[in-house]
Each structure stands twice: as structure tokens, then as C-alpha cells.
Chains A and B, each alone.
Chain A
Amino acid sequence: MTAEVFTARQLEALHDHPYATPVIAVTGGKGGVGKSTVAVNIAAALAARGHAVALVDADTEAPNNHILLSLPLKDRIDVQVAMPLVEPSLCTHCGDCIAACRRNALFLPPDQTPILMGECNGCKACINACPTGALLTRWMSVGATCRTESGNLTLFSGALLPGREESTIVVRALKDRLAAEADRFDIIVVDTAPGVHCTVIAALAGAACAYAVTEPTRVGMHDLGLILDLCEMLAIPARIILNRSNLSGSQATIAPEAASKDVTVAASIPHDSILLQSYVKGLPVVNTNPDSPAARIFTDLAARIEREWLK
């Protein structure tokens, strides 16, 4: 049995969010193509044009936006999941909790109370199943979100605690934190993780459009196809940003891919040592070298985004 693709009802529920501020996602199936560089520069360019910008670093396994902006991570709030805590005086050793846990995370030694030994994901099935209320809730941290203001730009950053697996839960907590004040901002830019898995989908949820960053290589084209398929499945209009456009191959390679999916190339950024140096320095090129070729492309892209979403 294959799960259905998203139904209209599911898409409506997925994209539903309690604010009107437009959301632009920056994504791209392949890692290392320059997603974060693009996201950070678009956000910085929009901020430089006077807009209140929220930049959301939803790559919770490998968050980098704060490094590319040379910003500290402030206002840390833990992301927590519920874990069972045994109250021995109420435990009747019935074993219902063991049976309820589909992850086999609980162990009941003979004549003792249950011990949490395995991987608990906070579902509370055991807590719900306990007939005597002997399982209480304790909260365990699986990651954190941070919020740093810098002029017009506010960075919301999420990080998974190394060793945990709940990256999607951290993304959702990050978006919830943003949602609480989203109406303050003129525009929201979300930087997703590479790939097409649940964490990426959670980051893409609610986006009005997605910029799929890629490079003109065979592997880049292969992975671009995957992210474009995902955006189509999620009913999110996508455009392509071709990074390192002069690397190998040419625009000719990308045209068939773009045409077959009816997607335009919004920008082509040639490989550029000034851009690379700004990346190494940890500052957006639109701020350090606004007249450089790459900076001009980002500024132009920001102007077009402004026309489309902010006027």
C-alpha cells in the first residue's frame, strides 16, 4: 500500500498558518549548492532596502546562517518532548505501558517498575495507557531555537541536539516561535535543509514560493528534479537559482529540466571569488561588496521579490 500524495485537504492543513506575512523558501535537493548563501543574501538585501525581514534557519541538523552573518545566537529556548517518569508508589507492574510502546523503549524487569531504556520520541502512548496514573510527564530537551536581532533583520535559528533524531520537531518549534510575532515582519525567508525528507517538507510548509538553488552539474540537475517534484507535490510555485553557473556544463543543461517542469530560472550566479571570500569571512556579499557581480544579482532578485510580494 502506498501512501497517497497530498490531498487538497491535507495541503490546506499543511500550509495553514496564523499570519499574513509572505513566506519565501530557499531550498535545493543537493547539499552545498549555496542555499544558505542565497538565503542570507536575499534576506540582507531586503533588509537593506528597509524591510523588516525574518530569516528562518530551518536546517536544524547543520544550521549555518548565523555563521554567514557573523551573528551570535541569542535568546535560546529549549525544544522539549514528553518522556515518562515512573511514580513507583502507583505502579502495579501490569505492563500495559510496555505493550503500548511501539518503539520498545520501556523495559519492565521482573518485580520492578518500568525503566526507560530505549529511544523515546515523546508520543505519550505509555502515559496514556497506564491505568493507575503511575507514569508522569517529564520534559526532555531535543534541541533549541534562538532569536537574534540585527537592525531590520531578525534571525530565527533552530538546532537539533547532536545524538537526537527529532529534527522535524525542532523545525516546527522554530516556525511556531516565528509565528508568535510573524505579523511584525514584512517578509519571511526560510532556509531549508538539503534533501526531500520530512524536515524539509516541514520547513517548506506555508511558503508562497520556493527558490530551488542548484548548480549546473549532472548531480545538481538530478537533485533539482527531486526538489521540483516535491514543490509540485506541495503545490508551492518554484523558481530556479543557478549557482556557480559558469562551473561546468552551461545553462543549456538546465534548460530542459526547467522547461519540462515549467519552471523559470530566476537568477544565474557565476562562480565569483568575491562571493567566496565573503562566505569565508562570514558576512553577506550584498553588505561587504554591494557592487560585485554576485551582490548585484542578489539585490536585483530582492527588488523583484519586493515587487511581487511587498507592494
Chain B
Amino acid sequence: MKICITASGHGLDARVDERFGRAPFFVLVDPDTMQHETIANPAMDAGQGAGIAAAQSVAQKGVNAVLTGFVGPKAYAALQAAGIAIYDGLSAGMEVKTAVKNYSDGLLRRSTGAQARKGSPVRGRS
């Protein structure tokens, strides 16, 4: 089992980055063993199609589920096509290891796709 958490840094102590397509790093974790590796997101500075490029790099790594803040509509469709589960709604500032724990404890819900259909990120409560 391999899950991917979008992050602004390396490793389990890094903070979550909310954006799937533009997050600087992906932390790939086996939630049972807590073995992990961090890869740079090649799509971070992509002019176009960042979401799809991000989905491609994640799919190539054999990821089973993505944990993130929000996923745009194209990335959403790509991850679905690859059979990768999507858990959205994570907040920036949370630590990667906390996100993994929440996942393992069954506290996270699968994305409904509503945010992806709207095609825009949820902005913080104002």
C-alpha cells in the first residue's frame, strides 16, 4: 500500500501543501511500515496541465491513494482513470505524519468530486 501526501517539504515532519498540481513535493508513505520517500513534483512550475503531469508522476510511482487539500477537475479525472483514491480537504500546516495517522485511523473521507467539478480551490473561511 502506498499513499501520497502533497507537501511543502521533505519527509514525515513536513507540512502539507494544499494544492495537488502545484505542491513542491510528494511524500510517498507505506502507512503500515511508515517507510517513506519524498519526490519533487515535476509539474510544480508547468505552464499548463500541472494537474495531469502531477497525476502522471504519482501514477508512475505506483501510488494507491492521494491525500491533499484540493484537486482540480483534470487531475481528478486523471487520478480516477488510474484508479487512485483521492482524499481531499487536508489543511496546509498539518504535518504529513498526522495526515498519515488520520488516514490509518479511518478519519479521512474520500473526495466527493464537488470541488473538482467546481474547478476552483476552496478558500479559507473569511
Direct contact of A and B (CB under 8 A): yes
Interface of A toward B, CB cutoff 8 Å: 98, 101-110, 112, 115, 117-119
CA–CA, A46 to B48, complex, Å?
46
Q: Which of A102, A104, A110, A112 contacts B52 (CB 8 A)?
A: A104
A109 and B82 form a contact (CB under 8 A): yes
Partner of B53, one of A104, A112, A119: A104
Tally B residues with Cβ within 8 Å of A. Answer: 19
Q: Which residues of A contact B82 (CB under 8 A)?
A: 107, 109-110
Report chain A residues within 8 Å CB of B53: 104
Q: Which of B12-20, B73-81, B112-120 contacts A (4 or more CB under 8 A)?
A: B73-81
The CA-CA distance from A52 to B46 in the complex, in Å, is 50
Tell whether A117 pairs with B56 under 8 Å between CB atoms, given A107-B78, A109-B83. Answer: no
Asked whether, in the complex, the Cβ of A107 is within 8 Å of the Cβ of B83, the reply is no
CB neighbours (8 Å) of B81 from chain A are: 107, 109, 112, 115, 117
Contacts of A110 in B (CB 8 A): 59-60, 62, 82
- B93: interface (CB < 8 Å): no
A114 and B43 alpha carbons, distance in the complex (Å)? 18
A118, B56: Cβ atoms closer than 8 Å: no
Q: How many A-B residue pairs have CB under 8 A?
A: 51
Tell me if B50 is interfacial: C-beta within 8 Å of chain A: yes
Pairwise interchain contact A118-B48, C-beta atoms closer than 8 A: yes
> Are A105 and B52 in contact (CB-based, < 8 A)?
yes
Give min CB distance, A163 to chain B, whole Å.
Answer: 12
Pair B59/A103 contact, Cβ less than 8 Å: no
Cα distance, A98 to B59, chains bound together (Å): 13
Q: List, in ascending order, chain B residues with CB within 8 A of A105's CB.
A: 48-49, 52
Of all chain B residues, the one with the shortest Cβ separation from A115 is B81
Residues of A within 8 Å of B62, CB to CB, are: 110
Compute how far the CA of A109 lies from the CA of B79 in the bound complex, rounded to whole angstroms.
8
Besides the contacts A104-B46, A109-B81, what 15 more A-B pairs have beta carbons closer than 8 Å?
A103-B47, A103-B48, A103-B49, A104-B43, A104-B50, A107-B55, A109-B78, A109-B82, A109-B83, A110-B82, A112-B81, A115-B78, A115-B81, A117-B52, A118-B52
The answer to whether A119 touches B49 (Cβ under 8 A) is yes
Question: Do A118 and B59 have beta carbons less than 8 Å apart?
Answer: no
Q: How far, in whole Å, are A115 and B81 apart by their CA atoms in the complex?
A: 9
A234 to B53, CA, bound (A): 38
* CA distance in complex: A105, B75 (Å): 11
Among the interface residues B49, B55, B62, B78, which one has the most CB atoms of the partner chain A within 10 A? B49
What residues on B are CB-neighbors of A102 within 8 Å? Answer: 47-48
